[in-house]
Chains A and B, each alone.
Chain A
């Protein structure tokens, strides 16, 4: 790709796919932006018209907006912290030669194969249910009053479920990174007098930094859009205690039938996601260079 003609050819070859991708992206975005500027309520088809940014001000001014942003951040950060920390620990564990390694590895990645609504329902009905759930049984066995997870700590419970779902992904990525660690480096550190903790901190963790970056970037993208788990468990409640930005847009569009405001919310979500992405790229993306 160094000569001028080969660069030109490359540009020519690439252009169809770039154009398709661009159209694919631009058209829905343009339609959404267009809707967000209209008075567009599905229940009142007669009242339409261009209203500039009123949808935006309505959406932002609604009391649920700020709490939904905070909830989204708590969910994303909570899941990231849990998956990265536990992911590293589990990866370190299953990287060692242990009996039944194959089975253990399959067990570890299996949550990833369960569809999110199914997983959430299992958590809700089998584990967290305050009368029949396993956690309630365990609490009763210990003589404690059962805890109503989804009623009293809805966001934390959902964070837990989502973290459970994403843990295999983090573990898998971190495990592959761990396996590419040169054993001579570890041995050199051992000779240099580093104890296990120092070896982890100064040698293993820096080696994993790139993989951790990948985990954070990819998970953030998906976690900003978490929806099914909320829908089938708390429906955003109680009140707005577990309503994230995505869920607020859904409520606006399909419970309030207000397409205009929902579109405005969508645009805001896109903008916020981009802000987060830029922050992430600045904060951790430089790990991906070189």
Chain B
């Protein structure tokens, strides 16, 4: 079981309020991802759940029990840190066994669980090495191993993949997702990478300056962003925002259209502009279009074999059903 409830939780460091009152419900077995720009309070929120920071006010409960004052060890949660935080002087085996040893479990059971975890994580060959003799990805797996042997109520991850290279990151992303499928344990995962958030999450929590901007499934956030911030944050490349008369024509202060919802034409369309930069990704090509008179620049997606070159004039045909409209406060209309 791993149901986590935050009720009116706030956090202040001295005078600065990092987390204004915040409510959040995380259901048992859910994979929840916290995303947001750097410094928005993702790590702080995670540490509040873990008990590594004290809340300034409000209540943290786990499985219905009030854990606000409980020390980290009693909350039954396991955390994987960005720097892995392995114990450098212990072997991989001792690292993974450490929480069991602290719990006073008998040696045979410890060994059995460590072997099982090593099996799952492909670490069997490395059990007698020191963390210093492992690659980044292997260290990350040891950190995960140390978390899973305890069979915690929930896992907390703080940007666990940000120290890995891109290829490894994709691999570990899958491994963690598979692990979640297999264990069906609640996972709370912090990242600033929205691709990680979109691919892994059951539920995404978008944070800005400590406030929750929106909570929802990845596709929910993609299709129905509640405000301009979420609309700009989710999706890559970013959504284009257009203000002024064109927005007013749609009865909004600002309208947004994603690059993939605009068709590029060499002959006709309601908007016209000049290509300044082209980005070829093979599967797709992104054009940066200037001089449209709508916004500074619009980013649009074309098929990988799109033929426009920098300097060419192009016409843009937005998919009007996919336009997002926002009022002056940035809220969705």
Contacts and interface: CB of A to CB of B under 8 A. Distances in A.
A192 B89 contact: no
Given A188-B81, A192-B98, A192-B102, A202 B73 contact: no
B78 A191 contact: yes
Nearest to B53: A187
A210 B243 CA distance: 62
Contact of A198 (B78, B88, B102): B102
B83 A190 contact: no
Given A202-B87, A206-B89, A207-B89, A192 B81 contact: no
Given A192-B102, A193-B99, A193-B102, A184 B81 contact: yes
Contacts of A182: 83, 85
B81 A187 contact: yes
B72 A191 contact: yes
A100 B308 CA distance: 68
A188 B79 contact: yes
A184 to B, nearest CB: 4
Contacts of A203: 87
B297 interface: no
Nearest to B78: A191
Contact of A191 (B73, B82, B87): B73
Interface string A183-212: 011011111111100100011001101000
B71 interface: yes
A193 B73 contact: yes
Contacts of B328: none
B52 interface: yes
Interface string B32-62: 0000000000000000001010000000000
Contacts of A188: 79, 81, 85-87, 146
A191 B98 contact: no
B79 A191 contact: yes
A202 B77 contact: no
A288 B40 CA distance: 42
Contact of B77 (A185, A191, A195): A191
B26 to A, nearest CB: 18
B29 to A, nearest CB: 21
Contacts of B88: 207
B85 A184 contact: yes
A193 B103 contact: yes
Nearest to A198: B102
Contact of A202 (B52, B81, B83, B98): B98
A191 B50 contact: yes
A193 B149 CA distance: 13
Contacts of B86: 185, 188
A187 to B, nearest CB: 5
Contacts of B98: 189, 192, 194, 202
Contacts of A207: 88-89
A185 B52 CA distance: 12
Interface in B213-242: none
B154 to A, nearest CB: 12
A206 B79 CA distance: 22
A61 to B, nearest CB: 48
Nearest to A290: B132
A113 to B, nearest CB: 35
A192 B146 contact: yes
B73 A192 contact: yes
Contact of A190 (B52, B89, B146): B52
Contacts of B89: 206-207, 209
A193 B73 CA distance: 4
Nearest to B102: A193
A186 to B, nearest CB: 9
Contacts of B99: 191-193
A192 B86 CA distance: 11
A193 B52 CA distance: 12
Contact of A194 (B79, B81, B102, B132): B102
14 contacts: A184-B83, A187-B72, A190-B71, A191-B50, A191-B73, A191-B99, A192-B99, A193-B103, A198-B102, A202-B87, A203-B87, A206-B87, A206-B90, A290-B132
Given A190-B72, A192-B102, A202-B98, 17 more contacts: A182-B83, A182-B85, A184-B82, A185-B87, A189-B87, A189-B98, A190-B71, A190-B73, A192-B73, A192-B146, A192-B150, A193-B73, A193-B99, A193-B150, A206-B87, A206-B90, A290-B132
Q: Which 4 residue pairs are nearest across A and B when measured between Cβ atoms?
A: A192-B99, A188-B85, A184-B85, A193-B73
